[in-house]
Amino acid sequence: MPNDNWSAVATFADPISAQALAGRLTSEELPCQVVSNESIPGLATEFAVLVPAELLQRAQWILEQAHFSEEELTYLATGEVPEAAND
């Protein structure tokens, strides 16, 4: 997964959680990418969020500060506003 220029800040078993963290990092103007161990389409079991190696400490700090609700995770991953917010 990671190469010499990028380091994994976190790994997840599902893509939505990885995308939620990537959304948070992006909102903090931190470059990131989500990669998986998918060798056959649809069979990925691990999703890693990578950041440039020199920004790993900042990304870890952001991760430690993040406390997401289910609604926030859904919004960050999909862009869909939760039903209660639409009323």
Q: Is residue 10 part of a domain?
A: yes
Examine residue 83 and state whether it is found in any structural domain, yes or no: no
CATH code (residue 44):
3.30.70
| Total number of residues shown for the chain | 87
* Domains contained in the chain, number: 1
Query: Which residues constitute the domain of residue 67?
Result: 6-78
In a domain? residue 55? yes
Report pLDDT digits (tens) over 40-78: 878 888 999 999 999 999 999 988 887 667 777 677 777
* 5-14 confidence digits (pLDDT tens): 999 999 998 8
Q: For the residues of 8-22, what is the DSSP string, one character each? A: EEEEESSHHHHHHHH
Q: What is the mean pLDDT of residues 4-30?
A: 92
